[in-house]
Structure 1
Amino acid sequence: MTLQKRIWDLIVLAIFVFAAAFATAPWFAFRALKAAAQYEDVQAIGELVDFPAVRRSLTAELVPAAPASQPEPPSIWRDPLSVFKQAVEPIAPPEPKVDRYLTVAGVAALTRGYAPGKAPPASTQDVTASGRIKDMVKGPFPQIAYWDPNRARIAVKRPDGSGKVTIFTFERRALFTWRLVHIRLPGDERQG
C-alpha cells in the first residue's frame, strides 16, 4: 500500500468519524442531561438547558385553551354587578405552574419519560459489570424523532406502555454543543 493511499484512507476515516460525531451529538447531550439529573449535578444541568426558553415553551403548553367564542361583555345597564365583578377580576390568567418541571427531580422524571412527581424511585445502581450492562440494556430508549444540522428532537416513551411520549428539542449552539430549548409534554398533561 502506498503512502498516498494510506493518507487518503485516513482522510476518509476522519471525515466519517467527524460526521458520525456531529450526527450523534444531540443524543449524547440528552444522555448527559439524563445523567446530570440522575446525579443531581445542577451546574451540568444549567449548561445543558436554556431555562428561559424551556420555561416559555412549557408555559405556552400549560396555559388552558381559550374558549372558541367569548361571551358578550356585560352591560352596565343590564347587569351592573357583573360589570363590577369583571373590573375587579385579574385581566391576565395566573401564571401556570412550570416550576415542578424545571427542578432537578422534574427534569430527571421527564428524561425517564414520566411526569414530575409520578416517576417510580430510581433503582439502586449495581456497580458490577453485569449490573451496568443490565441497566444499559433495559428500556425505554430515547429515539431521535427529528434531526437537522441545527435542531434535533428526541422522543422518550413512557415505560408503563401507555404510549405517551415526551419530546425534547435540542438546538445547536456550537459545532458539538447542543442545549435543550423545548419540552413537549404528552397530550393529556398539557393545559394542566
Structure 2
Amino acid sequence: MSRTTRSLATALVVLILVAALGFIYASPYIALNRVKRAADARDAQTVNQYVDFPALRASLKEQVAALLTRRVDIQKSGNPLAIIGAMIGAALVGPLVDSYATPDGVAAILNGIPPRGDPGERPPQAGDGSSASLANAPASGVTSAQQPPREPPQTTAGYRSLNTFVVTYRHGAGDARYSAIFHRDGLVSWKLVAVDLGG
C-alpha cells in the first residue's frame, strides 16, 4: 500500500469518526425535533418511540403535587377559600396527569404550555395540529377571546450530563421557567422522561 493510499485511508477513517461523533452529539436535537413534529401532528405511534410515558406520568404527578403544595403554602395566611380550592386541585392531580401524559400533552409541553395545576385543566388541542396554533392556545380552558395569544416561548437546550438533555422554556422575563428532560436510550436514541415545573 503506497503512502498516498495510506494517507487517504487514514483521512477517510478520521472523517467517518468525526461524522459519527457529530451525529452522536446532535442526536438529542434530532430526537427533540422529531418528537415535537410528531406530537404536533398527533402521531401517537411516533410519539411513543420518543416518550417514556410511565416515567413522564410519574414526573408529572410529582411536579404537579409540588406545585400545588407551594400554592397552598403561599396561601396559608390568606383566604381560606383559596386553600380549599388548592386542596380540591390536589384531588384532581390524577386526571390532570393523565391528560398531559398523552400526545396532546406532550405537544403542549414542547410548545411552551406546561400544566399549571388548575382544577379541570387539560392540554390545549390544536385543530390543525400546527405548533403555531398550539402556541397561541390558551393554557387551561380559557377561550382566546378572554386571553390574548401568547408569544412562542424562549427556548434553550443543551446537555446536563452525558446521558441527560434538557430543554428549558420561558415566555418572558417575569414568567417562570420549566424544563423538559430527555434521557439517552441507547447510543443515539433519546426519550422524554420528565418535566421540571420549577425550571
Structure 1 residues 118 and 161: CA distance shift in structure 2, 3 A: farther
Please tell me whether the aligned partners of residues 104 and 125 of structure 2 are also in contact (alpha carbons under 8 angstroms). no
| Pair 1:185 & 2:197 matched | yes
Gaps of 5+ in 1: 69-92, 125-138, 188-192
Q: 1:152 to 1:123 in 2, by over 3 A?
A: closer
Report if aligned partners of 1:110, 1:166 keep a CA contact under 8 Å in 2.
no
Structure 2 residue aligned with 1:100 = 99
Match for residue 168 of structure 1?
180
The 3-state SS of whatever aligns with 1:100 is helix
> SS of the residue aligned with 1:37?
helix
Root-mean-square deviation (Å): 3.2
CA distance in 1, matches of 2:158, 2:180: 9
If asked which structure has higher relative contact order (CA below 8 Å, sep 6+), I would say 1
**3-state SS, counterpart of residue 181 of structure 1:** strand
Aligned to 1:155, what secondary structure does the other structure show?
A: strand
Unaligned runs of 5+ in 2: 74-89, 115-122, 134-151
1:47–1:118: structure 2 CA closer, same or farther, 3 Å change rule?
closer
Matches within 5 A, 1:39-188: 39-63=41-65, 64-65=68-69, 94=91, 96=93, 97-115=96-114, 116-117=123-124, 122-123=131-132, 142-158=155-171, 162-186=174-198
Q: TM-score, normalised by structure 1?
A: 0.65
Moved more, 99-108 or 42-51: 99-108
Paired-residue identity, %: 28
Q: With structure 2 as the length reference, what TM-score do the two structures score?
A: 0.63
Q: In the aligned structure 1, how far is the partner of 2:18 from the partner of 2:131?
A: 37
Native 8 Å contact 1:48 1:179 kept in 2: yes
Larger Rg: 1
